[in-house]
Amino acid sequence: MSTKKHVYFFGAGKAEGTGKMKELLGGKGAGLAEMTNIGIPVPPGFTITTEACIYYDQHHGEYPEGLEAQIEENMKRLEETMGKKFGDVENPLLVSVRSGAKMSMPGMMDTVLNLGLNNHTVEGLAEKTQNPRMAYDAYRRFIQMFSNVVLGIKHHEFEFILNEVKEEEGVKQDTELSVQGLRNVIARYLSMLREVEKIHFPQEPKEQLKKAIDAVFESWDTPRAVTYRKLYNIPDDLGTGVNVQAMVFGNMGWDSGTGVAFTRNPSTGEKKFYGEYLLNAQGEDVVAGIRTPNPIDNLPKEMPGVYQQLVDVYQKLESHYRDMQDIEFTIEGGKLFMLQTRTGKRTAQSAIKVAVDMVHEGLITRQEGIMRIEPRQLDQLLHRHIDPKATVEVLATGLPASPGAACGMVVLDPDDACQWVEEGKKVILVRNETSPDDIHGMAVAQGILTARGGMTSHAAVVARGMGKCCVAGCEAIKVDGHGKQFTVKDKIIKEGDFITLDGSTGRVILGQAPTIEPEMSEEGRILLQWADEIKRLGVRTNADDPKSAGIAREFGAQGIGLCRTEHMFFAEDRLPIMQEMILANDEKERRQALDKLLPMQKEDFIGIFKAMDGLPVTIRLLDPPLHEFLPKHEELLVELATLKATKGDQNKIKEIQDLLHKVETLREVNPMLGLRGCRLGITYPEVSQMQTRAIFEAACELTKEGCKVLPEVMIPLVGDVQELKLQKDLTDKVAKETFEKYGLAVDYLVGTMIELPRAAITADKIASEAQFFSFGTNDLTQTTFGFSRDDAEGKFLDRYLEQGVLPQNPFEVLDREGVGELVKIGIEKGRTTKPNLKVGICGEHGGEPNSVEFCHLANLTYVSCSPYRVPIARLAAAQAKIKNG
């Protein structure tokens, strides 16, 4: 029986793998194989498969059968290809060991460079290359990186020694250290490991390699990698590939260097080569932001031949992959080598422009362009930005690494950032430079500010992927982590002070700068127009006022799928009248209060109908329990006790006592399942009469003015067809009376929300009275799971997600197995009674891409979501059609 293949070689113009093998080789390994196969200069090496990582993880650090032998065999092949020997003191082969999962996770897993160096091979490398400075610089880098990644020693232990030696030599940059200075650094590193950490640094290259491979496998499950996967919904069972590759040296001198580049601008999408490089440096110097790099536009002046070769390579790669590429390169002695290509992380603005431009360039089809955009990215486009007319105090200007505006309190530690956000604060994370270990703090921050690093640094790349505003390389700020502050010249900004970041210009602004509403770009409008031509699902909005309705219409909403009338009664001028109605002793008093509310409610509907002229408007009658409009029971008790203790006004005491009695009368053990929705309208029909009269009077008055009004009255919380019949008969009666009064008729529909399991199961009967269904999936999720959303999210749902009880929060992503089955049953049964029954969904699931796909598959008529999620739903609906037909 042959041993399974776990290692794939690439080199000398031929690779055993291909670019289509991301699942097995990871993105980096597949990219290296593909570049090799299409003739791009890549240092040779081999990739250990993701399957080997999964085996290692599942078998507590054991390798699968045959892996060690395959690694040894491929190391020999690499030695032959390079003409060097691993561990040889005269002509040593050095390798890098890098991670690479199927999905790009920039900086989240581990890398070790210059592996194979020890106290003897470093001398051989110095002699062979005739470049002792490069050799000792590589060795000090290797000790620091290996010790951090494999041995778990913190970077700052080494940085302290490095800075100490630089101070002794009177230099500021690492590149200025002498050979003897580098020897001193190495000696002190090894001494610190021995004496402080009680660790003898491994000198055997094969041991170094084994430990580095293990460390990369294990980095799949580091907290930062797990956090990143959660943020981006990346499965935990993919594993990472390990890429062992012959080293090329960007630190050979000033004819060498390293860089990161994008084939188009990842912030704006502009079709222009974009990137950064450093001469006499290695890759981590650019990515980690240790030195602020040079823009790629400077490279033609310093190395015109290399730059032209780089241009030829990037154009070939973009044409080959038909997408924007993120590339890493090293120049060794004037010769170019490519170390990576992958699909570039980009902002929403960039993603949309690149997709639309590539369609116009004939590189991809419209459908491919639509599928290139992650729907949630559109959220970024709808971020507010700083008002250009505002007068602001600019503290400093850095690099505009990721666009948008962000305002928050300064916080310098990622753990503190998480704590402050839990307390309800908005924060800006300020660091010298970020590292992968900061991912949790970056995820919760409004924006990120770094003193060091460039446009391709860790902070910039991760922020763009998250859609976070970021200003990087702001060298004017001096970050004092211990003092919990940063300074700009003579200004001190302390933790807790507010700053605003302008990620589009790089400005750092003192205080809270005013912002204005965003606008959709021309490319965004084109893309969404293409989406509308493809999608089957309609997209409506949830809106309770004319402003929200107008915003949604601008974003392409095709009507209102949910107008919640209860929100209108919380206004300052209405709440007392609403309370008067609730506290009434009989129907007569209730009607007197309702008569005061009628003109107010009618004005609400007039405004919304005008905003949606010609489009349907679904209005849900009063839904919440009445006690929500009254003061809280506990607050009344405190007020009453205070009045009694201070011998307050007796009339006021009597008033509070009466109110308290009414509140106690209305209190329910489980108000979510109590007197609310249609039960309220049946118990107090005059409430439904007032609301429906307001709807139809508004519709008639606007119809007379020439406005096209399409009202849809939605009865909430129906569990039995008779409940719907009673409220529908009432609605029809009020409509008839109103039409007679105005001398005209308006087309209208009466339907119901399906938000109880019984409603879904008896939907065939309910459909005999309903002209439309709208699934209220927020409440349907609660009643299906038996969860109270507030209690579940506050007490145990996080634990359920951590322990894998549930794959996702069912209030955010529709639960297809349970709630989804009820939706399908409801649609199927409803349409057995009325084949053309219009069916929508009006919970916030209507703007969540996975849930929108379910709605497409379940053959709903439309989805409805908040105004700012309308573009997301439009794109998700088109993608669902493309994926599923």
Residues marked active site are found at: 458, 842
844/814 Cα distance (integer angstroms): 9
**Does residue 843 contact residue 852 with C-beta atoms inside 8 Å?**
no
Q: Cβ atoms within 10 A of the Cβ of 367, count? A: 16
Which alpha helices (H) appear in 743-769, and where do they start and end? 757-761, 763-766
Look at residues 232, 152, 248 and name the one whose alpha carbon lies nearest to residue 443.
Answer: 232
What is the CA 561 to chain-centroid distance, rounded?
26
Query: How would DSSP label each residue in 663-716?
Result: HHHH--SSGGGSS-THHHHHHSHHHHHHHHHHHHHHHHHHHHTT---EEEEEE-
348/469 Cα distance (integer angstroms): 12
What CA dihedral angle connects 125, 126, 131 and 137, to 10 degrees?
80
Write the Ramachandran bin of 233: left for phi over 0, alpha for psi from -120 to 50, otherwise beta: left
147/153 Cα distance (integer angstroms): 6
Q: Which residues of 240-279 are buried (b: 16+ CB within 10 A; e: fewer)?
A: bbbbbbbbbbbbbbeebbbbbbbbbbbbbbebebbbbbbb
Q: Which residues 6+ apart lie within 8 Å of 334 measured at CB?
A: 255, 256, 303, 305, 306
298/320 Cα distance (integer angstroms): 26
Q: Which residues pair with 749 in a beta bridge?
A: 712
Strand 560-564 and strand 538-542: the pairing is parallel
Q: Which residues 6+ apart lie within 8 Å of 58 measured at CB?
A: none
Q: What are phi and psi of 60, to 5 degrees?
A: 55, 50
Query: 3-class SS at 637?
Result: helix
Q: Cβ atoms within 10 A of the Cβ of 144, count? A: 22
851/872 Cα distance (integer angstroms): 12
Which helix (H) or strand (E) covers residue 599, if one does?
helix 587-611
Q: What are phi and psi of 385, to 5 degrees?
A: -130, 165
298/312 Cα distance (integer angstroms): 17
Task: Tally the C-alpha atoms within 13 A of residue 688's C-alpha that lie toward its C-beta.
Answer: 30
What is the CA 631 to chain-centroid distance, rounded?
38
What Cα–Cα distance (Å) separates residue 669 from each residue in 579, 660, 675?
Answer: 21, 17, 11
**Does residue 862 contact residue 535 with C-beta atoms inside 8 Å?**
no
**Edge-to-edge order in the sheet of strand 507-510:** 394-397, 507-510, 498-502, 405-411, 427-431, 447-450, 469-472, 399-402
333/280 Cα distance (integer angstroms): 10
208/147 Cα distance (integer angstroms): 11
Percentages of the chain per state (helix, strand, coil), in multiples of 5 = 50, 20, 35
**Does residue 579 contact residue 527 with C-beta atoms inside 8 Å?**
no
